[in-house]
Structures are given as structure tokens and as C-alpha cells.
A and B are shown apart, each in its own frame.
Chain A
Amino acid sequence: MTDRRPGFILPLVDNVPVILSVDAFGRSYESHRAVDGLSFQLRAGEILGLVGPNGAGKTTTLRTIAGVLPVKEGRITVAGHDLARQEESAKRAMRWIPDDPQPFDALTVLEHLEFTAALYGQRDWRSRADELLARFELSEKRDAFGGELSRGMRQKLAFCCAWIARPALVLMDEPLSGLDPRGIRSAKHEIEALARDGAAVILSSHLLVLIEELATRLLILDRGRKVFEGTLDEARARFPEHSRGSLEEIFFAATGDGSKAP
């Protein structure tokens, strides 16, 4: 079965289109094996919480899906396009928000949105830009240069740039860093709204409370390997000693550090 959206022909799982498919993905740095044989799928409307200890391979996985790193092992398909062979089409369907977004210092906030819209072929950008700037409380900063923005504002601008082209897949690495409490609440609502509108989201963070709150599914990595994939309830069933436990307890159980958990 397939879903024929404009520009995409997507396979369906449980009648929901698969936006991202990662199959036997691996990556090595010199003698270090960063990711080994990773496979998973992500459907439209899902928020996948990607967690793992430092060096688990989360950022390598995200950066490879985003196109920053080349696919050397395995196969990654984004919105039906093979990332290695149809790179441009695959990239057109997704946006990447790194942990410390660096805007262009000579472009204003509004010009960042104008530029991003052109880059991703979004024609009716102006009204959407105004709407996004208002939603992320950046309207007053529309004429500020990227180099003049604080850490939190840079993060909000990265959200606006990601949202403007209505992506099918959004990859986020520690997306709430630098945001104030109001910004955090607003960002969480926006991420949920984005998923409700049919986008697939991968959320990588060490803030397990955030993952527990937003993610519809979990992917736990440890030393480059997948140690768990599924919902929080499935995780509790997999680790019965934590059947009522939080994600933090499950995380320590899954990554083999349960004895060290406080």
C-alpha cells in the first residue's frame, strides 16, 4: 500500500505513511564504531524520542539522516527518496535543527525566512513568516541581524526556519536549549502541533522528562546499537521491574547502568 502525497509516494504501515526508513545503518570513525546496524521506521505524525548516553551515536545518526554526513553503510529513505541516490529530493522533505543553531550574521530574521522559503521552494512565504514570527515571539526582532540574536532567539529562529517550508520530517538535537520557560512551553506546543499536522519528528535530548512528555515512541541507543524501540508502555513491559517507572529508570535499565541509578 502507498500514500500518494504531492511529490511523494510513500509506503504505508497500519495505514499511516512511512516518512523515514533507516535500514542497517552504520558508521565508523577510524577504529571507533559509532553506529552499528541501526534499523527503524518513522511514520507521519509520530514523535520519536532518541535517547542514549554520551557517545551512543545519536548525533551521528541525526546528522547522517540530515545529510550532513554521507551514508556509508545501510540505506536511509526520506519521504520515499533514497538519501544516497536522490539526495536533493530527500533533503527537500526534511529540516534539521542542530543543538546550537548558527544564523547568518548578515541576514535579518525576516530574510532568514525569505531565504529558507526560497531554498525549499515555498512560494507563499510572507504571510506564513509573519504568522510564525508572531507564534515564536520574534515579530519585534524581524529586522535584527542573525549575529545580534541571543541563544534563545537563535533557537526560536531555527524553529521558524524549520516550520516555514512545511517539512515532512523534522530532526531536532536538544531543541529546547537556551529557551526561557515561556519559550520552552511554546516550543513543546509547536512540536506537538507539527506532528498533529502529519509531520514526523525525531527529538534527541538528554532531558528524559521532555522525551517522556512529547515522544510517542522511543529509540534508545547505547554504544552505537539499538537497545530498545517502542512506546513507553512497551518499555515498561520489557523491563517489568520498572513497570510503573519513569523513562529515567527505564533508560538506566536499558543502557545497563541500572545499578548506578540514584
Chain B
Amino acid sequence: MSDGQAALALLARRKIRGFWARQLRKARTPKGALLTVLGVAMFALWILSIVFGASGERLVVQVDQLAVLARLGLLTMTMLTISSAFSLRGLYLPASEIEALFSAPIPRGALVRYRLRSALVRSLFGALFFGWMFARRAPEPWFAFAGIFSALMTLPLFGQALSLVLGDAENRFAARLSGLPWRTMSFVLIAVAVALFVISGEDAGSTTSFGSYEELFSFLSEHPLVRAIGIPFTPWIGAITALDARTFWPWFAACGAIFAGLWWAVPRIPVDYRELSLETSADVARRLARARRGLAANAGAAGANTRSWRTPWLAGRGPFGAAAWRKAVTIVRKSRASFLLGGVIVSLVALFSIAAGEQEPDAALRGALMVAGFGTFYLCIGLRFDFREDLDLIGLLRTWPIAPWKLFLATLIPETMLVSAMIALGVGGLALYHGSTDLRLLLVVGAVPFAVLAWTAIDNATFLFAPVRMGAAHDGALQNAGRAMVLMLVRTLILLLCGALACVPYIVLDSVLELPALVSVGFGCLAGVAILCAEIAVLVVVGGEVLRRFDVPRDQP
């Protein structure tokens, strides 16, 4: 082993040790330990529930059905690998390593092997997990496990080969390829594939409806296109569906030979991957940084055409107004995709409510409650234009001359207004469709801002209390899962309690004192709003206190 290869092996070992050391360090405080334990429990329960299922029994399927399942599963994984190869062209190395490793006296082949080893370690869990899943349904579990495991461990090698070859092709033909309408071509290709599937499947049976899973499997197993795309997977399908050792071993040997061949060949692919790798590394680093800040990894920056958009100073030109305005500008300029997604969600729920009970009495009210409920749920979970995208800025926010509770409220108000406006539009659309003038719809719309503000206040206070960064498979993934569990419990309890308390005046006036409906509804609403305001005030004060106690060196490493 050369010095360079030995150094790479040492780096890999140190990285794994560092990962576990960081996990232990995070679990050193009582808060970190609690979230880690909850995260591990959640992960373990999820795995156990999937692995053993509700009944704990093995559900064996027929060999031909297993072959179809394996073929489609491997096709899906291959498509994902190809898609990943398009986005990770060249040799992906983290931004913290790439400059040092490219400038070090290490042969390029050794770097590729280092990357392959990392990819195999990452694939190990998935290969074991899916292998186990398939084994439970296979007539010969160990053969199926070995076949799936070997296929999923071969895919990273194939993906790396593809990344290098695609990167090389792009280097050679970049000028010619850049003019091609890739998006249109992708749509056309998908349309052609669907058309081919439908046309070529006409001989295999019905393409519109199937009476049972057996009919569907029968159709797919005889479909010429499914058979054709399964050809490259023949050795693995052979191993997975083998019923005896004499059939299994030749196929499994072929799988092993393909793995060994790729392991030997990929580091020897004669391409200079350095320039594309640097681009890929920078691109991934940028996306990870965005994900760490709580934004979706692919969320866009402020659009250049939004430069001239003016956002009104709705809360005045003092410190409070300035803090709310900054957040509002960010939402307006960066959340076009979120607007669209929110609009789609609200519209779908409204359409679903219409389809579900158009003829029923109170259809408009039922629809409005559905839109308000589902809209609040999905939009509050999906939109994160609050402290969750400002984690790296908390040090700066702390220097502003504004009380923490005011800053907390000012930061949450724009998102609350956005979600409330979307839901109000949905409810308004429903009222127009039903021709309803039911005043109770106004009550629903009026309650939404309280619910949204309470929801985001709880989420943000919890986030600031335990500011674990977002990002699956990152250092804080376990604590993140644990916090999600705590958050779900806290949020549900507090929202139910707040809602119940706000309803108390109406219940007392209507059921205990038995006052006329107009009086009980009127005074019940007024008292309910007063209680909701008081509850929100308490949540905001608590959130402000958590923000005040935010320890920048500890919580924002």
C-alpha cells in the first residue's frame, strides 16, 4: 500500500471515529442525551416495525411474482443511481477534503477507490435492510438476501463509473450539448416510454384495470418491455429467485464477477475528473449549507427579477417593523415555489371537500374546516420562513436593539399572514362555489391566524430550545428525530389545550347558563378571542425567553 493509500485509509477511519465522537459529544448534555435517546428509540421502532411487520409472519410470494418485483425494484434503484450520477458528475469529494486530496501525491485511481469504499459503506445499511425485506417474501430467503445485497452493493460502482463517463462526455461535448433542450427532451422521452409501455403491453392483457394483484403481476411478468429492461439484471434475478443451491451459485458467482470487474475497471477509467469534481463539490456544499439553514436543498435564491419588488412596511418603521419587514421581503422574493405549492395544497383540499360532500348540508362549512385544518397542518410543516432559516444569523439578531419577545413575534408574523391568506382564499373560493353566506365561515377564517401563530410559536420555541440543524444523515440526525418526537407531543398538547380553553366560555354560556344562541355565540366568540390572544401572548413571551437564553457559542457551532 502506498503512502497516499495509507493516508486515505487513515482518513476514512478517523472520519468514522469522528462521527461517533461527535454523536457522543452531542449526547453529553441532558438535553442532547434526551433527544438522542428519543431519536434512537424512534429509529429503532421504525426499523423493527418494518422488519417484523404487524403479524411477524413471513409472506412468501410466487417465484415469478418475486422476479417481477425484483426487476422493478432494481430498475427503480438503477434509475435513482443514474439520476444521482447526473448531479454528482466526476468524483464527488466533500468540500473540506477535495482541495487537500487533489493536491496531495495520491494516484487518481487510489482516490477513486477511496470514494468507492465510502459509497459502499453508505450503501451497506440499505443493502442489508432491503435484502432482509426481500428475504421475508422469498421462497429461499438466504438466496434472495444474497442476490439483493450483491445488487445493491454493485450499484454504487456502476454509479461512479457513470459519473466519470458522463463527466468526461460533458467535458468533451459541452459546447454542443449545452444548446440542446434537455427539459423538452426528457418529457418527450418519458412520453415515448409510457406510449411504448401501453402499446407493447396490449398483447399481454388489459392495461386499464386489474381484478387482483395476481392479474397485475401476470400482466407485468409477460410485458415485453418489463422483460426487456430486466435483461441487464439477469444474474441478480437468477440468484434472488433460485430455489436450490445448484441454480443459485452460478448466478451468484456471476454477480461476484461483475462486482470484481467493476471494482477493477472503475479506477482505471481514463478520464481527468478534477474540474467537474470541483464544480460538483462546490454545488453539493452550497446545497448542504442551504439545508443546514433549514431551507430545502434545492430551494432557489431570490430571483433577479424580484429586485425591484417593493414590500410594504406593514408594522411601521421602528425596530419591530424592520424585523417583520426583513422577513416579509425574504418570503416575497424567495418563496415563489412555496406559494405555488401552498396554493396547490389548499386547492386540492378544497376540491376534495367538494367531491366528498357536495350534496350534504353544511357542505361549505365542512369544506372550510377541512381547508383550514389540512392547510394549517401542511403549510405550517412545509413553510420555514422563521428562525429555522436564521440559525446562522442569531448572533447578528442578538445585537439588534429590540426585546427578544418582540423579535420573536415580528419574525413569525409574515409567515402567519401568508398561511392565513392562502387559507382565507381557499375558504373564500369554497364559499363562492357553494354560494354560501354562512357567517360561521368567517369564524373559521378568523381562527386560522391564531392557530398558525400558536403552531409556529411552539415550533420555533422548541427549535430555539434545541437548535439541532436539519439534514438527514448529518451529525444531528438522531437528535433531530428525537426533537421531532418531542415537538409533535408538545404541539399537539398545547394546541388542544389552547383550543379547549377558548371554547370554555361558549360552552358555559350555551350549556350551563342556557342563554339564547345569539348571546352565547356572540359573547362566546368575544371571550374565546380574548383567551386566544392571551394564550398567544404567553407563547410569544415563552418564545422570547427561549430566544434570550439562546447560547450562541453552544447552540450555533
Residues of A within 8 A of B (CB): 29, 63, 66-69, 87-89, 91-92, 95-96, 98, 102, 104-108, 111, 115, 118-121, 143, 145, 147
Contact = CB atoms under 8 A, between A and B. Distances in A.
A167 to B, nearest CB: 11
Contact of B401 (A89, A102, A147): A89
Contacts of B329: 106-107, 111
Given A96-B399, A120-B401, 7 more contacts: A63-B552, A68-B552, A102-B396, A106-B302, A111-B329, A119-B400, A119-B402
B317 A29 contact: no
Given A106-B334, A145-B307, A115 B326 contact: yes
30 contacts: A67-B399, A68-B395, A68-B398, A68-B552, A69-B551, A87-B403, A88-B401, A89-B401, A91-B401, A95-B399, A96-B399, A98-B395, A98-B396, A102-B392, A102-B393, A104-B330, A105-B302, A106-B302, A106-B330, A106-B333, A111-B329, A115-B322, A118-B317, A118-B321, A118-B325, A120-B319, A121-B318, A121-B319, A143-B307, A145-B307
B553 interface: yes
Among the interface residues A63, A104, A115, A119, which one has the most CB atoms of the partner chain B within 10 A?
A119
A219 to B, nearest CB: 21
Given A96-B399, A105-B301, A106-B329, A118 B318 contact: yes
Contact of B399 (A91, A111, A121): A91
A105 B334 CA distance: 10
Nearest to A94: B399
B68 interface: no
A107 B327 CA distance: 10
B323 interface: yes
Contact of A29 (B319, B403, B553): B553
Among the interface residues A68, A92, A143, which one has the most CB atoms of the partner chain B within 10 A?
A68
Contacts of A66: 398-399
Interface in B299-352: 301-302, 307-308, 313, 317-319, 321-323, 325-326, 329-330, 333-334
A119 B323 contact: yes
Contact of B326 (A29, A89, A96, A104): A104
* Ranked 9 nearest A-B pairs via Cβ: A118-B322, A92-B401, A91-B401, A106-B302, A119-B322, A106-B330, A106-B333, A118-B317, A68-B395
Contact of A108 (B307, B319, B402): B307
A98 B333 CA distance: 26
A26 to B, nearest CB: 15
A19 to B, nearest CB: 16
Contacts of B321: 118
A221 to B, nearest CB: 18
A97 B456 CA distance: 31
A2 B29 CA distance: 47
Contact of B552 (A69, A121, A143): A69
Contacts of A104: 326, 330, 393
A58 B486 CA distance: 38
Contacts of B326: 104, 107, 115
A203 B281 CA distance: 36
A29 B333 CA distance: 40
Contacts of A121: 318-319
Contacts of A143: 307-308
Given A102-B392, A118-B318, A91 B552 contact: no
Interface string B378-415: 00000000000000110110111111000000000000
